[in-house]
Amino acid sequence: MIRHFFYLSSLFLILLTIQTNGQSKDTTIVTQILPGIIHKKIISEKDTMVANVLIADLKENNILLKSFKHENTLFSKETTSRMFEELIDSGYNVIAGINSDFFENDGDLINNMISDGVFIKGVKFSDSPFNDYANSQFCLTGDNKPFIEQFVFDGSVIFPNGVIEKISRINCRTDSNSFTIYNKHHGEYTPEKFKWNLLETILLPVSKKADTIIAVNTGIINREGKTKLDSDKMVLSYSGKNTRYLENLISKGDTVKLVYRMFPYYENIQTLVGGWGRLVKDGKNVTASLDSSEHTMPRFSKNRHPRTGIGLSQDSTKLFFIIVDGRQKSSKGMSLLEFADLMISNGIYQGLNLDGGGSTTMVINNEVVNNPSDITGERSVGNSLFLIRKTK
């Protein structure tokens, strides 16, 4: 075993090489990025694997997590490295980032997303055409407490007469006989009228406390969709046979309460991104149950692909970004079972699979540290998750 130590300014780098039977070697390069944040690059000739692991101590008061979409709009895609630069241009001191949720061709996400306490998307179950289960997702609360759960969106609108109706979705097309909320993150307009009668009214938010927004009805009504989404307003949309139901519940100048929650319930969720497949639970590899618990498919779970994941230590004070390259000579990728084992071997006690394949990307200090598998290079993705250093 050979060890080399190098010191440069406040950073340290450790190169650990282990040679087995004189034929193959495993190399781990450990670099301190900042106090409480280290990066490990693991190269295994034996397993034909290249992995990158970033470990951040959440007890450090100067770091936060931010989920981000290109231009802060739901129907958008961009590379993780470009989103990294967008945040820098906005004044953030960005340390690292990884790609996050699964997404459609237009950039729409499969799961829920919360950024800075604001819903970018809210959906009861996955929006995937292959999966109508509640997928496992990752969140961080305002006091830096992380959780991995099969989160389900639960929203309500409370009208002046005390009637309470469920909000089925945020920034998703309205279902029959249901209410949907649209905000500026949907884009410039709400969707046009689809199958059912439609009624939309514009709300002006006046206050927010915890999970409750107080809003005033402006009385502006649209029955065809394509309502303009001004940055300071939101739209309450009702679809069904009898749209007069909404007209009878609310008039111009009325105040309504909008309550948004995720279940299981955690107070003051600031960041939430979706995944597909809880891989590690309480230190154990639980991939054997994924096909039944989250409806993963064998070609997705058992075949080897590039992988992206997020994890927590046993006491939830350490956060892990972890990726494995794949579909290339130096790194063949991993099944979900193998990826879970890699998580556990690196100290992950709770682990979640994020979007992988050609999407798999890790950026540190504005540099892509892995080798994305698409022949065209780094892929534009639906959203990414960034580790940020707070400015004083």
What pLDDT digit, counting tens, does each position of 225-245 carry? 999 999 899 999 999 878 888
* CATH at residue 207: 2.60.120
Task: Note whether 64 and 79 are same-domain residues.
Answer: yes
Could you tell me if residue 6 is inside a domain?
no
Name the helix (H) or strand (E) containing 386. Answer: strand 384-389
Q: Is 168 exposed, middle or buried (0-12, 13-18, 19+ CB in 10 A)?
A: buried
> Distance (Å, rounded) from C-alpha 379 to C-alpha 373?
9
Could you tell me if residue 12 is inside a domain?
no
How many CB atoms are located within 10 Å of the residue 282 CB? Answer: 8
Indicate the Cα dihedral angle 238, 242, 243, 249, nearest 10°.
Answer: -90
Task: Note whether 143 and 288 are same-domain residues.
Answer: yes
The encoded tokens of residue 113 equal 């997303």
Domains held by the chain: number: 2
Strands 307-312 and 318-324: antiparallel
Task: Note whether 211 and 280 are same-domain residues.
Answer: no
Domain end call among 245, 263, 281: 263
> Distance (Å, rounded) from C-alpha 136 to C-alpha 150?
4
Domain end call among 263, 289, 319: 263
> Distance (Å, rounded) from C-alpha 201 to C-alpha 216?
10
pTM metric for this prediction: 0.92
Task: Note whether 281 and 252 are same-domain residues.
Answer: no
Task: Note whether 141 and 285 are same-domain residues.
Answer: yes
Task: Note whether 280 and 141 are same-domain residues.
Answer: yes
- CA distances 7 to 10, 11, 56, 310, 347, Å, are 8, 7, 20, 29, 25
Domain that holds residue 189: 154-263
Task: Note whether 95 and 205 are same-domain residues.
Answer: no
> Distance (Å, rounded) from C-alpha 102 to C-alpha 40?
25
Could you tell me if residue 27 is inside a domain?
no
pLDDT tens per residue across all 392 residues of the chain: 333 333 333 456 677 666 655 566 789 999 999 999 999 999 999 899 999 999 999 998 899 999 999 999 999 999 999 999 999 999 999 999 999 999 999 999 999 999 999 999 999 876 655 556 789 999 999 999 999 999 999 999 999 999 999 999 999 987 778 899 999 999 999 998 877 789 999 999 999 998 999 999 999 889 999 999 998 999 999 998 788 889 999 999 999 999 999 999 999 999 999 999 999 999 999 999 888 888 888 888 889 999 999 999 999 999 999 999 999 999 999 999 999 999 999 999 999 999 999 999 999 999 999 999 999 999 999 999 999 998 86
Task: Note whether 229 and 285 are same-domain residues.
Answer: no
Tell me if 139 sits within 8 A of 263, measured CB to CB: no
Task: Note whether 136 and 283 are same-domain residues.
Answer: yes
The encoded tokens of residue 157 equal 């609108």
